[in-house]
Amino acid sequence: MTQPVRPSVAIYPGSFDPITRGHEDIVRRTLIFCDRVIVAVGHRATQAKQGLFTIDERVELIKAVFEDEDRVDVAAFSGLLVDFARERNVGLIVRGLRAVSDFEYEFQMALMNRDLHPGIETLFLAPDARYSYLSASLVREITSLGGDMSHFVSPVVQRKLLSKLQST
Ligand code: PNS
Distance of CA 145 to the CA centre of its chain: 24
pLDDT in tens, the chain (168 residues): 566 565 699 999 999 999 999 999 999 999 999 999 999 999 765 665 679 999 999 999 999 999 999 999 999 999 999 999 999 999 999 999 998 889 999 999 999 999 999 999 999 999 999 999 999 999 999 999 999 999 999 999 999 999 998 887
What is the reported pLDDT for 168?
78
Q: Rounded to the nearest 10 degrees, what angle do helices 100-116 and 81-88 cross at?
A: 60
Q: Is the CB of 14 under 6 A from ligand 1?
A: yes
CA nearest ligand 1 atom 3, residue: 15
What is the reported pLDDT for 44?
65
Q: Is the CB of 13 under 6 A from ligand 1?
A: yes
Nearest to 125 by CA among 137, 110, 145: 110
| Under 8 Å between Cβ of 85 and 91 | yes
Q: Write the CATH number of the domain with boundaries 9-167.
A: 3.40.50.620
CA nearest ligand 1 atom 16, residue: 80
- Please give the Cα distance from 20 to 151 (Å, whole number): 9
CA nearest ligand 1 atom 6, residue: 14
What is the reported pLDDT for 5?
61
Q: What angle is formed at CA 135 by the lines to CA 45 and CA 11, rounded to 5 degrees? A: 55
Q: Is the CB of 46 under 6 A from ligand 1?
A: no
What is the reported pLDDT for 2?
62
What is the reported pLDDT for 1?
58
| Under 8 Å between Cβ of 18 and 155 | no
- Domains in the chain: boundaries: 9-167
Q: What angle is formed at CA 114 by the lines to CA 112 and CA 118, rounded to 5 degrees? A: 145
For the stretch 35-60, pLDDT in tens is 999 999 997 656 656 799 999 999 99
| Under 8 Å between Cβ of 73 and 37 | yes
What is the reported pLDDT for 50?
77
Are β-strands 72-76 and 36-41 bridged in parallel, bridged antiparallel, or unpaired?
A: parallel
